[in-house]
Structure 1
Amino acid sequence: MKKLILFLLSGMTIMACKTDLVSRIGEEDMANGGYIRTVTPYPVANSTFSVSKANMGGTRMEFLAEAVTPDHGAWFASYDLSIAFVDATPANGTKNVAARALKSLPASGFTPDATTLYPRATITVTGTEALTATGLTAADVSAGDRFDVTGVMRLTDGRTFTASNTGANITGGAFYSSPFYYRINVAN
């Protein structure tokens, strides 16, 4: 009787383990895109930087960026930045400025990193560049105002990636560190 029970249990165990084979999804069949990863400073606290109202030309937003696409950045064409101004201090008037083109950084301006092999570049926006792009003067900004910089990654096949068509793991995750958005606060 014990042998029969053991035999039945063994048979049930073998039958329970039987599965249908599932085909593996090949990487070539998956949708791929790209993102600009912030390498340093890491992590970027809410992607926030500051410029000094007293020294707009000498202060800046600056970070080391890495273009990540399949084949170590081979699909990367450019990273285009736009800038808007949010006037949070009505004492000197309200001079909000909608998003305008700031600069385009071509893939040719990025250099492959020796360790990761992905192309990297230092991205800098000075306070003076922010003023010029928005058409403002130093008198138009006050401590407490801010500039909002947004990025668009362009690929060689014409596709674009922004915060709105990229997943939360990429834009908000500490590992990927790719917000496609940078805030420049105006300080004293």
Structure 2
Amino acid sequence: MKYFTILLGMILLVGACKTEVVDKIDERNMEQGGYIRTVTPYPVVNSTFSVSKANMGGTKLELVAEAVTPDYGAMFASYDLSIAFVDATPANGTKTTTAVALKSLAASTFAKDAQTGYPRATITVTGTEALTATKLALTDISAGDYFTITGVMKLTNGKSYTASNTGVNITGGAFYSSPFSYRLNVAN
């Protein structure tokens, strides 16, 4: 009886340890996406840049961007930017605008970086471009107001990625440095 109890215990123990064989994840057939990584300035502190009201043509948002996809940017089609103005100083009237198209940067304007293998480009938005796109005059803005610039990464397969459909690790993490949104403060 003693041996029978030990044998039964061993059978139950071995049976309890049985696991199912799980298929390996097929990474090649998983849905893949992409993001635009800010290379410089790095890290992008709150994605904030400034323009001077006294020198709108000479001050700008400027960053080096890298198009990251699983195939080193081959699926990258364009990075489309839109802009809106937020009037935070109502003393000169309220001129807040809704988002309008600013510019589209085609994949062909990006060049492969020798070190990373991903396509890179310098993105620039001057204060004058911001005013023109939002149809504002210099008298409509004051120090303390700001422009918001948002990006949409479009892929050749028709998919697009923004801050709203990208994970917080990508948009908020310093490693990925991909906010998809930039703030352009108006200074004196």
TM-score scaled to structure 1, two decimals? 0.91
State the 1:91 CA deviation.
Answer: 1.0
TM superposition shift of 1:17: 5.5
Q: Which has the higher helix share?
A: 1
Please name the residue that 2:50 is paired with. 50
CA shift digits 1:63-122 (9 cap, x unpaired): 010001121000000000000000011111111111000000000000011111010000
- How big is the alpha-carbon RMSD for the aligned residues of Structure 1 and Structure 2? 2.1
After TM superposition, what 4+ stretches of structure 1 lie above 6 angstroms from structure 2? 7-16
Partner residue, 2:119? 119
Helix, strand or coil at the partner of 2:22: coil
- Which amino acid is 1:136 matched to? L
1:94 counterpart residue number = 94
Q: CA deviation at 1:14?
A: 6.6
Unmatched 5+ residue regions in structure 2?
A: 1-6
TM-aligned CA deviation for residue 29 of structure 1:
2.4
The worse-fitting range, judged by mean Cα deviation, of 105-114 and 14-23 is: 14-23
Amino acid in structure 2 at the alignment position of 1:85: F
1:30-75 CA deviation, whole Å, 9 max, x = no partner?
A: 1111110111111111100000111111000000100011210000
Asked whether 1:158 is paired with 2:166, we answer no
Return the letter of the residue paired with 2:76: F
Letter in 2 for 1:51: V
For residues 18-33 of structure 1, the aligned pairs below 5 Å read 18-33=18-33
The Cα of 1:183 is off from its aligned counterpart by: 0.3
Alignment CA distance shift 1:13-1:176 (3 Å): farther
Mapped partners of 1:9, 1:51: distance in 2: 76
TM-score normalised according to structure 2 size: 0.91
Quick one: distance in 1 between partners of 2:30 and 2:47? Answer: 30
- The amino acid across from 2:151 in the alignment is G
- Matched pairs, number: 188
CA distance in 2, matches of 1:186, 1:73: 34
Three-state SS of the structure 2 residue aligned to 1:170 is helix
Instruction: Return the alpha-carbon distance in structure 2 between the equivalents of residues 156 and 60 of structure 1.
Output: 30
Distance, in Å, in 1 between the alignment partners of 2:130 and 2:138 is 10
Where in structure 2 are the equivalents of 1:1-188 lying within 5 Å?
18-188=18-188
Distance in 1 (alpha carbons) for counterparts of 2:101 and 2:46: 22
* Counterpart amino acid of residue 123 in structure 1: I
User: Cα gap change, 1:10/1:174 in structure 2, threshold over 3 Å: closer, same or farther?
Assistant: farther
5+ unaligned residues in a row in structure 1: which ranges? 1-6
Q: Aligned equivalents of 1:27 and 1:175: distance in 2?
A: 22
The 1-side partners of 2:14 and 2:61 are apart by 62
What is the CA distance between 1:8 and its match in structure 2? Answer: 10
